[in-house]
Amino acid sequence: MNERAILLVDMQSFYASVEKVEAPHLKDVPLIVSGDPERRSGVVLAACPLAKKRGVQNASRLWEAQEKCPEAVVVRPRMQRYLDISVMITELLEQYTDLVEPYSIDEQFLDITGSLTLLGSPREIAQNIQTTIMNQTGIYARVGIGPNKVLAKMACDHFAKKNSSGIYELRADSVSADLWPLPIGKLFGVGKRMEHHLKRMGISTIGTLATYPLDRLKKRWGINGEILQRTALGHDPSPVTVHTHNEQKAVGHHMTLPHDYASFEDIKVALLELSEEVARRARFKHYLGQTVSVGVRGADFSHPTGFHRQIKLHSPTQYGTDIAEAAIQLCQQHWDGQPIRSVGITLSQLQSDSQYQLNLFDHHVQKDKLSKVFDAIHIKYGPAALLHASSLTSAGQAYHRAEKIGGHYK
């Protein structure tokens, strides 16, 4: 069997690139795409290369970015436009293979194994893709090439982005030379917390993890320990599939608050709004969920506080009141009383809503009828047409967020 040829195509500074293409006078100016600073959502979503050279980093706070680069032009995000361009790029990539898997709004996997005899080598196809995307959208793409998805991803992130051509191939026989010397935090799937744990075990590089005794890794993390080592070895059998995102493991929603919420009554308003949004998404995708998770982050960055807890419901649900009751209970039990900056709710253990077990004490039929009315009104008149009265208080955000996509302006 021939080795697979997988590409990871990544759009450089995607949001900022879109803004520069559509505003040519900003071409040679440092540009930052950020949320609405007046509502405390001033986080850098994207910075162009000129701004990054001045030290601006994605996910940093806007005021910090402006201190590093005072001359930067700051624009609000236009999420609908970015989504439209992302779909356009997907359609361009489908000219090269029918196996295109969106990984994020600005990254897409391609399996071009079946296209090699027609379109040339992986590098030739990557160069062609770069040219096509640039000509059609004006956006520069970097491309990682590998025999599987994980190596293509790391080829793009750690090598193609620093390569003058914007293309890099990470082969199975070059993993030990190219990948193993990198710090363990560079390994795909290793976050800050896992990096800390691995370093405490004396694992500071990817190569150290690749040659670490497997039994000790499995004893500490079970099957996840083996997966981490297989990743370090460059092994990844997962296919590129267009159906990856058709089935979800969870439905969730998160919001950064416009100011610190210090009272439980204000926090309850946010929990109720999030619960209704999560429930609406679950109904739209025809899911019921049985586990509710709540995550809260404190307002003090220098001394992080907050919690992440979950609770299993007596029966699966897709109704906001059920989710809100569980979320409020979790917050009552675990909130430390310190002001919070953000909160999120997730509904997991999903199953299809095509069949369910009736509960004599759950009033399922009444909830179902009421939810269908709510959904019909939202579809016809918009998400702000029908709200809980608490959303009209100063703590409410539902009316304002109705103007956004994914928490950002359309």
14-77 topology per CATH:
MutS, DNA mismatch repair protein, domain I (3.40.1170)
Query: Which of 14, 13, 26, 25 is closest to 56 using CA atoms?
Result: 13
Instruction: Tell me whether domains 177-232 and 250-409 share a fold.
Output: no
- Amino acid occupying residue 163: N
Contact 255, 269 (CB under 8 A): no
36 is in an annotated binding site: no
Q: Quick check: 68 and 55 in contact, CB under 8 A?
A: yes
Q: Domain locations in the chain? A: 14-77, 177-232, 250-409
Give me the residue label for tokens 């998400």: 383
Pick the catalytic residue from 107, 273, 276, 277: 107
- CA dihedral in degrees (183, 185, 190, 193; nearest 10)? 130
Give the distance between the most distant pair of CA atoms in the chain: 66
Contact 338, 300 (CB under 8 A): yes
Q: Nearest Cα to 228, choosing from 194, 192, 193, 178?
A: 194
Q: Which CATH architecture is the domain 250-409 placed in?
A: 2-Layer Sandwich (3.30)
- The answer, as to whether pTM is greater than 0.75, is no
Would residue 107 show up in a list of annotated catalytic residues for this protein? yes
Binding residue per annotation — 10? yes
CATH number of 177-232: 1.10.150.20
Whole-angstrom distance, CA of residue 293 vs CA of residue 394: 25
Compute, in degrees rounded to 10, the torsion defined by CA atoms 300, 301, 302, 303: 60
Sorted by sequence, the CB contacts under 8 Å of residue 293 that are 6+ apart come out as 250, 252, 308, 309, 310, 345, 346, 347, 348
How confident is the prediction along the chain (410 residues), in pLDDT tens digits per residue?
A: 468 999 999 999 999 999 999 999 999 999 999 876 555 457 888 999 999 999 998 888 888 898 999 999 999 888 889 989 999 999 999 999 999 999 989 999 999 999 999 999 999 999 999 999 999 999 999 999 999 999 999 999 999 988 899 999 999 999 999 999 999 999 998 988 899 999 999 999 999 999 999 999 999 989 999 999 999 999 999 999 886 555 667 888 888 887 889 999 999 999 999 999 999 999 988 899 999 999 998 877 667 788 999 999 988 999 999 999 999 999 999 999 999 988 999 999 988 887 766 666 666 777 777 888 877 887 777 777 677 777 777 777 765 665 555 555 55
Question: Is 161 exposed, middle or buried, given 0-12, 13-18 or 19+ CB atoms closer than 10 A?
Answer: middle
